[in-house]
Amino acid sequence: MNRITENNSGNLVLEVNENGMEAYLTIKLTDDVIDEKEIENLITEAGIKYGFEDAVKFNIDQGIEKEYDKPFLIAKGGLDPFKSELICKFEAESCYAPGKDPSRVSLTGWCYVTKGTKLAEVEVDETSNAVKNVYGETIEKRDLHTLYSSQYIGRNVTFKESERAIYSTIDGYPYLENNGKVGVVDVLELNGELLNEQNYLHFRSNVEVNGDIKNCKYISIEGNLIVHGDIENSSIYCTGSILIDGAVSGCKPLGLISCQNITFANGRVSFLFAGNNIQAERQVIDSRMVAGIGIAGSMKTCELTGGSVFAGRLITAAYAGDRFGTSTRIEIVPNCWHKSVSEHLTKIIENKVYSEAVIIDELKTVLSELPESPSIQADEETITGINFYGKVFPGVEMVINEKVITVDKVENRIIIPL
């Protein structure tokens, strides 16, 4: 049954519903003057102490206005405001954050954590942990874990209620979002402009770049790299794969080195080394490519012109060379990747191609930890050897099984099995 309280004149009626969660005031239209103090006294007499702000918000949200002779919500029970404080264990202001304004991003000194690292602690006002009625009485306790999850838990973290602490569930870069959530990412999403003209950058996770990478002296990535754009005049070492939506051009003196795969649209005057495979869609001009397993250009559109191409098991494309007789070397060399990259790095280190000591030191580490060339076990269904499905022009020299084949006239479709 609802609880009703009236003033002496009977023109103010205060009604609280049976569960005590809502209180309504009815002001009757009479000739008597309504005194605000009388309303306050009635509220006090009824014992209503909680939920006034929530009632105001509800009425505004619903577009409800006071009217004579109609009940009007003045108090609404519910969740007490959750009072807590987040104490980060990392420098949140200087860390990477998804969607952060690029102009405020620093690419150096970002905090990196391993799985199981404590990222933050939560201090809670226990008195706020309740659902209350309009009398201020606690109806039920709330699930703290649910509160923490909704307020503080971001991606790739977990909350230990016994410690009231947030821990990382993966290796990666911790962050604090504007809404107060703590998380960890293992893919850094960056604007290409941030990387341009940089001398040295080292990232310990996967990296995804929106835009071009230009004129970056050296980038080291412990993971995969995806570029939604081109790479120009830059050198990159990557323990994972490199996927480029656009072109590769002028990437020297180190070039692009991937311990796994490199995929790109077209290339010009660049060094490309991949532990497993290289894939190109269109023309590759005056470049050196080395792949531990295979170099697979599009059978319809890829042209390999100028430079040298080495692979452990397979080289395939549409065309080789050009009508001007440009010198182009195509060679199958088992175990070529490790040897080629080792010689390349050694030359750069010994000749001090880079003046920055930090780059030379890192290249020495890369050299000492360089993976071996992949073992190649071909079956009967695996395509091997040198395969060109279009024209091969004079000036092309192919080497396979220690046999040198020099092209002295235009050939249509050349298939040389390993």
Share of the chain above pLDDT 70, in %: 90
Same domain (yes/no): 136, 267: no
Q: What's the pLDDT band for 82 if we cut at 50, 70, 90?
A: low
Alpha carbon distance 7, 162 (integer Å): 51
Higher pLDDT, 156 or 85: 156
pTM of the model: 0.76
What is each CA distance from 216 to 231, 248, 251, 303, in whole angstroms?
A: 9, 13, 10, 27
Residues 153 and 234 placed together within one structural domain of the fold = no
Query: Is 209 found in the same domain as 255?
Result: yes
pLDDT digits (tens, 9 = 90+) for 269-315: 999 999 999 999 999 999 999 999 999 999 999 999 999 999 999 99
The last residue of a domain, from among 18, 46, 76: 76
Average pLDDT, the chain: 88
Examine the domain organization and report whether 28 and 133 are in the same domain: no
pLDDT digits (tens, 9 = 90+) for 197-215: 888 999 999 999 999 999 9
Which position has the higher pLDDT, 383 or 3?
3
More confident residue, 148 or 366: 366
**Cα separations in angstroms, 308 against 271, 329, 418:** 10, 5, 19
Does residue 258 sit in the same domain as residue 171?
A: no
pLDDT in tens, 238-268: 999 999 999 999 999 999 999 999 999 999 9
| 250 three-state secondary structure | coil
Last residue of a domain, one of 167, 185, 203: 185
Provide the pLDDT confidence category of residue 129 given band limits of 50, 70 and 90. Answer: low
Q: Examine the fold and report which residue of 31, 55, 76 is the final residue of a domain before the chain moves on.
A: 76
Q: How confident is the model at residue 104 (pLDDT cuts 50, 70, 90)?
A: very low
Q: Are residues 310 and 234 in the same domain?
A: yes
Which range marks the domain in which residue 64 is found? Answer: 3-76
